[in-house]
Amino acid sequence: MIPEPLNVLLVEDRIDDAELMVIALHEAGFDPTWHRVDTKEAYLHHLAQEPDIILADYQLPQFTGLQALQLLQSTGLDIPFIIVTGFYEENGLTCMKLGAADYLLKDRLGRLGEAVRQALAGRALRREKQEAEEAEREERRFAEALADTAVALNGSLDLDEVLDRVLENVKKVIPHDAVNIMLLEGEIIRTVRRQGYEERQGPEPPSLPSYQLKDVYYYDWMVKTGQLAVIPDTHHDPHWLHLPGREWIQSYIGIPIQLHHECIGFLNLISTTPGFFNEKHGQRLVAFTAQVATALQNARLYAALASYSETLENTVIARTEALNSALNQLQTILNNSPDPILLVQPDGKIETGNPAFKETFGYEFTEVSQQGLLSLISPKWAKPFMDTMFDVLSKHERQRLELKAQTQNGRELDIDLALAPVNVEGQNLPMIVCSLRDITALKEVQRMKEAFVSNVSHELRTPISVLMLYHGTLSLKPEKFHHLKDKISREIKRLDLIIEDLLRLSRLDQGQVQLEEKLVNLNQIAAEGVADRQVLAEQKELNLTFEPGEEAALACGDPGLLGQVLSILLTNALNYTPVHGNIQVRTVTWSIANRPLVGFSVQDDGPGIPLEEQKKLFDRFYRGKTGHESKMPGTGLGLAIAQEIASRHQGEISVHSVPGEGSTFTVWLPAASSTDPLPFG
């Protein structure tokens, strides 16, 4: 058996007693290296060298074994201390109570080897326990730091803020001198954040470094293997990319950031100390990077949501397989969606949804969860909706459907409905993720576009057809030019009127019409407008009159645009008033809420306008039943133009009409002394 090496400090004044103890140790299988001391100073000197064990006589001429024990305890060193006494056993017991490992009598040194081994074993156990406790404390600190990091990283859905928080929190988990985050874009690695470089390389450059993936060995290797790279000493690694100005990088650890087994970037830590990073750091970095990947995933999903709802639908479908585990993360994203998104049971009952549902439909979930999604669908669309639900459940495929739904207050919405099946553990039939996009405004634009195309096509077709007919006639019979000249001129003017209406409305919409603000006398505008149309009224056998108000009708505005408003109202009255009818133009004044108003009205005794049509009179391209039946030219843009001009003057147009009794259109404007907008709408 090979003797065990043992460094022994003997506190003994008698050399022969010391040698006896050394002999006993040899006989017990030790190979001792020993030093004998008998003074306090020598004792403290050798104590600083941390011997394996101390054997001390209880009674020395200059100080006692008890004092030697107390001096050891004051240093905090864990060195087994054995009392060797010649006469009094009670002295040894006293020392053991005060911390000695053992005691034995000098005439019983045969037990010395066993006592030493037990003392050394006791110290070994204490050290193992301390190391275990320290490891446990270290793991607890790491777990707490990781938990804090998870809260911090997942506390934001903004990508830039998440990247900043990664740099702030990685230092809590792994010490380092510098850190950077790189994102992988195709075959290009781009640095997006870094910290700790400024004091070593100077101020940040205008653009952070980027590399080709194939040019950096370890990045390429991490992408292919999915493993982290630990390089204790970069200067002795054959694959390390040595760049000028980077000599300070002595130790490196990097890990790929992965989402769904796909590398999207790298987290790299750097130390200026060779051999600093090890496998334990690597294990911690793996746990930390899992949090980073989750936070980056949430930030990307949120950015996609803010950009377009279609991306949200695709993202939700892609994430449904992990719905149970990702529900808490996904909830944050869904709460920020502008479109209602619901989780629906196979029988149509609503399981849960996002806040946009209440904003769109006005219901709380508790109000409709039992009735189910069908309760929101307009009755006409109930069967197509149920058929689509059946297809989703039976074919396990995504389906889309446009239908109409009703809000809590009865308003009908056009809805683009997207349904996707979601497998749920323990259920035979899948749940359904339902996205409802309100496309009412888009449908209205589509209807307006169709109406515009229809009306404009109709209005343009007639004069163009006539002009083509006259052109053909002139080609065959040029002598008829003088006979057809006036007719051609009228059709050209008709085309010009239609196009000018379209251009005028376009200019108003685009803000290209500048108001010429000046003091306007509405009596003068009304008088001139009536005078200009007297001849036309007489030709139509209509009685057109003007009745000025008793008070001056002064407003601040653009006389040319206000004249256009009067022209539009007079043109409509002249077109729809029957022969021998009356058209009365008046200027009026009024006061509402202590604000003086002025205006002009055009009253006729024509066919009148039904109440249901009055609500749509100022809609663009709208022509009522009377307009279509009259065969009179028009695009349905006149009143829309007039209303837009009045609105630009902080005014409004009101209408009073009774079918069979005629109509009165009144333009109200703030009086010249008032700049407050009208309290309409």
Instruction: Render pLDDT for 563-596 as a digit per residue (tens, 0 to 9).
Output: 888 888 998 888 888 999 999 999 998 887 778 8
CB < 8 Å & 24+ apart, contacts of 507-512: 508/641, 508/644, 508/645, 508/648, 509/644
Quick one: which of 121, 119, 148, 133 has its CA closest to 55? 119
* Phi, psi values for residue 66, rounded to 5°: -60, -40
Question: What is the helix (H) or strand (E) element at residue 377, kind and residue range?
Answer: none
Quick one: which of 540, 530, 508, 521 has its CA closest to 638? 508
Q: What pLDDT is attached to residue 51?
A: 94
Domain membership of residue 137 (yes or no) is no
User: Do 123 and 158 belong to one domain?
Assistant: no
What pTM was estimated for this model as a whole? 0.37
Domain membership of residue 540 (yes or no) is yes
User: Do 278 and 244 belong to one domain?
Assistant: yes
pLDDT digits (tens, 9 = 90+) for 509-538: 656 566 678 898 989 988 888 888 888 888
| Amino acid identity, position 67 | Q
Under the phi-then-psi rule, with left for phi > 0, alpha for psi from -120 to 50, and beta for the rest, what region is 578? beta
Lowest average pLDDT, out of 92-96, 116-120, 576-580, goes to: 92-96
Domain membership of residue 535 (yes or no) is yes
Q: Which residues pair with 176 in a beta bridge?
A: none
Look up the CATH number of the domain holding residue 421.
Answer: 3.30.450.20
Q: 307 pLDDT band (50/70/90 cuts)?
A: confident
Q: Are 606 and 576 in contact (CB under 8 A)?
A: yes
Q: Residue 553 to residues 127, 204, 529, 556, 670: CA-CA distances in angstroms?
A: 103, 69, 15, 10, 10
Cα(348)–Cα(343) distance, integer angstroms:
9
Q: 319 pLDDT band (50/70/90 cuts)?
A: low
Q: What is the 3-state secondary structure (H, E, C) of 533-567?
A: CHHHHHHCCCEEEEECCCCCCEEEECHHHHHHHHH
Q: Are 259 and 275 in contact (CB under 8 A)?
A: no
Cα(535)–Cα(541) distance, integer angstroms:
10
Q: Are 383 and 377 in contact (CB under 8 A)?
A: no
Cα(612)–Cα(624) distance, integer angstroms:
10
Number of domains in the chain: 5
User: Do 409 and 487 belong to one domain?
Assistant: no
- Tell me what the mean pLDDT of segment 486-504 comes to: 65
Q: What pLDDT is attached to residue 452?
A: 62
User: Do 522 and 569 belong to one domain?
Assistant: yes
- pLDDT at residue 416 above 80? yes
Tokens 């990685």 appear where?
170
User: Do 462 and 534 belong to one domain?
Assistant: no
Domain membership of residue 238 (yes or no) is yes
Quick one: which of 353, 355, 391, 356 has its CA closest to 369? 353
Give the domain-ending residue among 509, 541, 562.
509
pLDDT digits (tens, 9 = 90+) for 57-87: 877 777 888 888 888 888 889 899 998 887 6
Cα(54)–Cα(73) distance, integer angstroms:
12
pLDDT digits (tens, 9 = 90+) for 138-175: 778 777 777 777 776 777 778 888 888 888 888 878 88
User: Do 163 and 232 belong to one domain?
Assistant: yes
pLDDT digits (tens, 9 = 90+) for 254-291: 999 988 888 999 999 999 999 999 888 888 888 888 88
Most confident listed range (100-109, 479-488, 655-664): 655-664
| Amino acid identity, position 347 | D
User: Do 425 and 487 belong to one domain?
Assistant: no
Look up the CATH number of the domain holding residue 97.
Answer: 3.40.50.2300
CB under 8 Å to 263, separation ≥6 — which residues?
184, 222, 223, 226, 256, 257
Q: Which residues pair with 416 in a beta bridge?
A: 402, 437
User: Do 559 and 660 belong to one domain?
Assistant: yes
Pairing assessment for the beta strands 53-57 and 4-11 based on DSSP bridges: parallel
Collapsed DSSP state (helix, strand, coil) of residue 88: coil
Give the domain-ending residue among 279, 305, 331.
305
Here the tokens at position 496 are 């010009």
Domain membership of residue 148 (yes or no) is no
Give the domain-ending residue among 111, 127, 143.
127
Domain range enclosing 609:
518-670
CB < 8 Å & 24+ apart, contacts of 673-676: 673/596, 674/595, 674/596, 674/597, 675/556, 675/650, 676/595, 676/650
Look up the CATH number of the domain holding residue 294.
Answer: 3.30.450.40
Q: How many residues does the chain have?
A: 681
Cα(95)–Cα(65) distance, integer angstroms:
8
pLDDT digits (tens, 9 = 90+) for 428-474: 778 888 888 888 877 776 776 666 666 666 556 656 766 777 677 77
User: Do 593 and 656 belong to one domain?
Assistant: yes
Domain membership of residue 146 (yes or no) is no
Most confident listed range (200-204, 335-339, 599-603): 599-603
Average pLDDT of the chain to the nearest whole number = 81
User: Do 242 and 298 belong to one domain?
Assistant: yes
User: Do 429 and 326 belong to one domain?
Assistant: yes
Cα(467)–Cα(490) distance, integer angstroms:
10
Cα(277)–Cα(120) distance, integer angstroms:
33
User: Do 209 and 73 belong to one domain?
Assistant: no
Look up the CATH number of the domain holding residue 562.
Answer: 3.30.565.10
CB under 8 Å to 494, separation ≥6 — which residues?
462, 463, 633
Domain membership of residue 120 (yes or no) is yes
Here the tokens at position 233 are 């000493």
Q: What pLDDT is attached to residue 490?
A: 62
Report the sign of the C-alpha dihedral through residues 355, 356, 360, 365, in that order: negative
* Phi, psi values for residue 134, rounded to 5°: -65, -40
Domain membership of residue 576 (yes or no) is yes
Under the phi-then-psi rule, with left for phi > 0, alpha for psi from -120 to 50, and beta for the rest, what region is 16? alpha
Here the tokens at position 549 are 């108000």
Question: What is the helix (H) or strand (E) element at residue 312, kind and residue range?
Answer: helix 309-319
CB under 8 Å to 2, separation ≥6 — which residues?
none
